[in-house]
Amino acid sequence: MSLLEAVRVGRVFPIDGPQKRFEALKDVSIHLEAGESVGVLGESGSGKSTLAAIFGGLDRPTSGQVLYKGRDIATLKGGDWKCFRQSVQYIFQDPKAAMNPYFTLRQVLMEPLKVNRKELSKAQMVELVEDMTARVGLPTSILSRHPDEVSGGQAQRIITARVLLLEPEVIIADECVSALDLSIQAQIINLLRRIRSATGASFLFISHDADLVRYFCDRSYVMLHGRIVEELGQDLSASAKSEYTRMLLGGL
């Protein structure tokens, strides 16, 4: 039994225009094992983010299922659903959209602890928050600012800190460093790798940077037009068979 699994997932969006519907995912099956890091590659618009949202329970498939430890997440209720939502966390492509604009960054980081880690005292939470802020490479003075008062890269690091504070089992990272400069990319990736070896967290790692996928992941899926078209081993290029995949990898 996989930790998290998508079984023949489809997603159809109703759209304006002559077609009326758009099939963003077609019959997609993927699995993620405990402790594994799996990459998703594919051209822009191929369905990576749509798949990630469904895999993380943020969107529902129009066909097929997502299984968490063997159970269809559509059937989870109450405590089980809460447990799933806490165990599977998401680092988005657009960090500011994921924050309440009226919160200070301190509140952004405290909020999930207050909900999910009720056993901690206020002082312990503050300490955890400040410690994590430093670990993502930000000064703690930044915590009194609001999301629109920090740069995109700083916002992305706050979101990363928020996810790590919850100590999830699965982290779905959708282009989580593509907006950042290389030094901060490296800082975040190094931090994710340290967290991974300390906690054994699993990753679904979506990126258009094939070098980074090769560096971070154990194996990968390649998407095109809403389908998985190839599965690759850790070394990517050595196992790539199709022209399309070689173009994705060789674009650099």
Partner 1 sequence: MDSRILDIQGLCARDSVEELLVDVSLHVDAGGRTAIVGESGCGKTMTLRALLHTLPPDVEVSAGRIRFMGEDALALKGEALRKDLYMRIGHVGQNTSENLHPLLKVSRQLTDFSPLGRKEALEKATALLESLSIKDPGRVLSSYPGELSGGMRQRVNMAVALMKDAPLLIADEPTSALDAHVRRQVEELYQGLCEREGLSLLLISHDLSFVRRIADRVYVMYAGRVVEEGSLDEVFGEAAHPYTKALASLSGRRSLDRTRDLDEIGGSVPDKGRGDPSCAFSSRCPYAARDCHNALSYRHLGGSHYVRCCHELA
Ligand X SMILES: Nc1ncnc2c1ncn2[C@@H]1O[C@H](COP(=O)(O)OP(=O)(O)OP(=O)(O)O)[C@@H](O)[C@H]1O
- Binding residues vs ligand X (CB under 6 A): 13, 15, 22, 24, 42, 44-50, 208
Phi and psi at residue 24, in whole multiples of 5°?
Answer: -85, -30
How far is the C-alpha of 55 from the C-alpha of 49, rounded, in Å? 10
The one-letter code for the residue type at 195 is: I
CB of 168 to ligand X, least distance (A): 21
Q: Are 34 and 204 in contact (CB under 8 A)?
A: no
**87 vs 187 by CB, closer to partner 1:** 187
Q: Which stretch in 16-24, 69-77, 81-89, 111-119 sits in contact with partner 1 by CB under 8 A?
A: 16-24
Q: Which of 72, 94, 127, 231 binds partner 1 (CB under 8 A)?
A: 94
How far is the C-alpha of 113 from the C-alpha of 79, rounded, in Å? 17
Q: What is the dihedral of CA 105, 126, 170, 53, to 10 degrees?
A: -20
Secondary structure of 191-210 as H, E, C letters: HHHHHHHHHCCEEEEECCCH
**49 vs 187 by CB, closer to Mg ion:** 49
Number of residues that bind partner 1 (CB under 8 A): 51
List residues near partner 1 by CB under 8 A: 13, 15-17, 19, 22, 43-45, 48-50, 93-94, 96-97, 137-139, 141, 148-154, 175, 178-187, 189-190, 193, 208, 210-212, 214-215, 247-248, 251-252
